[in-house]
């Protein structure tokens, strides 16, 4: 099985660590929300995304694709 590499910045690594602590029952959702400076509802949403998409759930969805203004034009310009 091939594993996919995910580039994470420090903030995303910290966020992922806290979410894993919640999954292991070392932290409550409320404590995690306080540490991450988000609401407990946002923590639940992140945990759900983590279940579905894995560790890549903490990475912003628009990271990676090029802006449309830089795509080659169809008419060759």
> Where does the pLDDT of residue 6 fall: very low under 50, low under 70, confident under 90, or very high at 90 and above?
confident
> Where does the pLDDT of residue 2 fall: very low under 50, low under 70, confident under 90, or very high at 90 and above?
low
The mean predicted confidence, pLDDT, of the chain is 86
Q: Could you state, in order of their start, the residue ranges of all structural domains in the chain?
A: 10-58
pLDDT over threshold 80, residue 24 = yes
How far apart are the C-alpha atoms of 25 and 66, rounded to whole Å? 39
pLDDT over threshold 60, residue 1 = no
Neighbours of 7 (CB within 10 A): 9
Whole-structure pTM over 0.85, yes or no? no
């Amino acid at each position: 099985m091939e594993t996919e590499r995910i580039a994470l910045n420090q903030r995303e690594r910290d966020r992922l660590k806290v979410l894993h602590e919640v999954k292991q029952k070392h932290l409550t959702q409320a404590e995690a929300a306080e540490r991450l400076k988000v609401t407990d509802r946002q923590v639940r949403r992140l945990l759900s995304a983590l279940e579905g998409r894995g560790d890549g759930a903490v990475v912003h969805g628009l990271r990676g694709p090029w802006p449309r203004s830089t795509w080659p034009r169809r008419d060759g310009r």
